[in-house]
Structure 1
């Protein structure tokens, strides 16, 4: 089923959540790419302070998603979605109004907390609303997010012609519109009960070894994906000599994610099965960095320009070819595996704990990406000092292939949500013994 047919087959509520995800990513990516330049330029913050602000925002969101997911299970998804979007609107108004370090730091914290509130709640609501069509719904959801991430920076760049305050104000307005629209259009959803306390839910989650192993293995997807913000921009700037070429990386990633989310996420599992499809996607995310590992040993972009001037479009594109190839392969691998990984992660959750499992999945993804970026940045510095520019790229390739092997060897994968017991207090969810099933 193609993207248009999948959209038409979706319920009105699922479509509304697609629009919500588009708006969330549009508003977020209007402001995020411009935030660092604003903090360091207009406000004069040091690089260390800029890094601290961005780090606080990430930690506030990723470190709190487990709590947001559990709150979605206990309090209901609708109110958390509305609250999170409203908080994000307030946070972006704060970015527009405050110019002190304390005010900016507070805005960063509120921005992160708002994401921790509405992200797991939205995914939990989507999971329950989609029923048996979760994979297709996740694929549409990710496509909507990629589309918003593609157009957000473009709109933000136009608004920046006035000033950053206009960007922040329009971003805040987007989230305000989402809040009011969903207040009137998003119906309440019945809550499921796990049959035990919050701490009982967390204890059960933390002893669900098959789920935790799966989450650790697929977290490599997020480590690889976050090179869009670390190594890939640095490398394309190095080989082309132009910081403006960074936009090519995001354009390639967003277009493939936007066009390929539904076809790749739904058709590949039908041919290979869920386990093999996830392993293939993770492996591609690792192999993506081979072109840049080879180009990294060449010093200077002119060695890659093939005789063309880097001031010309052909010269710049030829110099950027290894990076853009890496980005394209990464995009295909991530698109194949991400929706399927989310669907499998939810399949582990017993009734009443969907949000909790989604929250843990999101928290593990965010923390692994943050920790991975720190270590990979260290390897990049080490490689630069010792003339081993291939070092971080080779590590990412090895990491991806190792994770793909681990996923392919997993012997515990719940096939369908009905495999889990009616309450958490019952026995542990039955697992499928033997190799991972070949049917999606």
Structure 2
């Protein structure tokens, strides 16, 4: 029997990864969009404890991203993706059935561990495709995410009438479905046995151009994550939270096809614009926009533009930096540092909201300032040549810490995650 053409294999990989994305995103957003309201109203937790639980999930996920991203490269993205889905199914199942702080901590750890495995696994499969398939595949991947993010909160709101337990168990079922879909994929190429995970992490950390990008893009995770937290913490009801989440997702989905076309996502201006839109969204919320329907929608539009620009900018930049098959390692390094900032910032924001309206306004203004500072720093990002083509021997031709950078006609990456 004839072997399938490379294009056939690429299409199969994209189709399965997009189907997985549809299932897990629908499950994730249906549960997460209403989690803060559940913790606030059903379990009557204080804002500081709510923020700590959410931040703990981020801390576990992104702290583990450093070793796990490299291990996904050294092992098998398909197997790692299946395990990730099983862990997250267990985590969402717990969210709907426990009420104690210890139970919530266990759920947060399971969700964080699953996320640390899932994102490098799924994105490594896409990053390993040819350039044309990679660009189109990631566009389909993110558009599917945002389309599910529109439907997810509405699905969760409908199920919420029976109780949050049904929302959480439905989410768990969708993650189990995603685990079964991974079995449709062949195993991806692995890093040669002699090229360990530690060597891959060391190479990424010595890549000065890449680490410059990491430093500048770190606040993106904090800014995007907090958009979904500060609105319900500010007192918005489930209907308003659903509207906000759906508008953010619709705008993000609308931006993705444009951003994915050609090499737009790799341009420094795209990263800067995404950061500035995020800052503007938090500034609107600081001005009390969440209290008015029009203001809430305007803030959601800005956050949607931010998400729609930042996600492909980060993916394409990492894909350009990473030597195949080292995408998981590079993604893990960036997610580790960004996750630490997101954890510290998320905990601080939640504590500020406990102090009342003045504290909440101050926290939102600080988030806006962080976004503006990161956007200004992005103007000085250096650029360098892309890594060697697919198939190059891992570890060969690795640049030293003083590798020379050259202009690249405005491209953010000639060298260079979430969800």
Q: TM-score, normalised by structure 1?
A: 0.79
2:224 match:
225
> Measured at CA, do residues 416 and 333 of structure 1 come closer, stay the same or move farther in structure 2, by a change above 3 Å?
farther
RMSD: 3.4
2:383 alignment partner, SS class: coil
Distance in 2 separating the partners of 1:221 and 1:19? 26
2:416 match:
none
> Measured at CA, do residues 415 and 407 of structure 1 come closer, stay the same or move farther in structure 2, by a change above 3 Å?
farther
* Contact 2:381/2:412 (8 A) holds in 1: no
Equivalent positions of 1:20-419 (< 5 A) are 20-39=20-39, 41-43=41-43, 49-183=49-183, 185-193=184-192, 196-233=195-232, 237=236, 244-266=239-261, 269=264, 274-292=267-285, 295-296=287-288, 319-376=292-349, 384-385=357-358, 389=361, 391-415=362-386, 418=389
The size of the alignment, in residue pairs, is: 404
Per-residue displacement from partner, 1:338-359 (whole Å, max 9, x unpaired)?
2022111222122342211111
Q: CA deviation at 1:32?
A: 2.2
Distance in 2 separating the partners of 1:395 and 1:38? 27
Distance in 2 separating the partners of 1:378 and 1:105? 18
> Measured at CA, do residues 352 and 94 of structure 1 come closer, stay the same or move farther in structure 2, by a change above 3 Å?
same
2:417 match:
none
> Measured at CA, do residues 44 and 15 of structure 1 come closer, stay the same or move farther in structure 2, by a change above 3 Å?
same
Distance in 2 separating the partners of 1:381 and 1:428? 48
* Contact 2:191/2:325 (8 A) holds in 1: yes
* Contact 2:272/2:378 (8 A) holds in 1: yes
Q: CA deviation at 1:371?
A: 2.4
Distance in 2 separating the partners of 1:51 and 1:282? 23
Q: Which moved more, 1:393-402 or 1:348-357?
A: 393-402
Q: CA deviation at 1:407?
A: 1.9
Distance in 1 separating the partners of 2:328 and 2:167? 32
* Contact 2:74/2:196 (8 A) holds in 1: no
Distance in 1 separating the partners of 2:329 and 2:369? 31
* Contact 2:18/2:140 (8 A) holds in 1: yes
Distance in 2 separating the partners of 1:337 and 1:102? 34
Per-residue displacement from partner, 1:262-287 (whole Å, max 9, x unpaired)?
123326828xx622332233233334
Structure of greater Rg: 1
Q: Any unmatched runs of 5+ in structure 1?
A: 1-7, 302-318
Q: CA deviation at 1:14?
A: 0.5
Q: CA deviation at 1:96?
A: 4.5
> Measured at CA, do residues 111 and 77 of structure 1 come closer, stay the same or move farther in structure 2, by a change above 3 Å?
same
Q: CA deviation at 1:82?
A: 0.9
Q: Which moved more, 1:205-214 or 1:43-52?
A: 43-52
Distance in 1 separating the partners of 2:392 and 2:230? 44
> Measured at CA, do residues 221 and 151 of structure 1 come closer, stay the same or move farther in structure 2, by a change above 3 Å?
same
Per-residue displacement from partner, 1:322-378 (whole Å, max 9, x unpaired)?
343232123223312320221112221223422111112223333322323344556
Q: TM-score, normalised by structure 2?
A: 0.83
1:362 alignment partner, SS class: helix
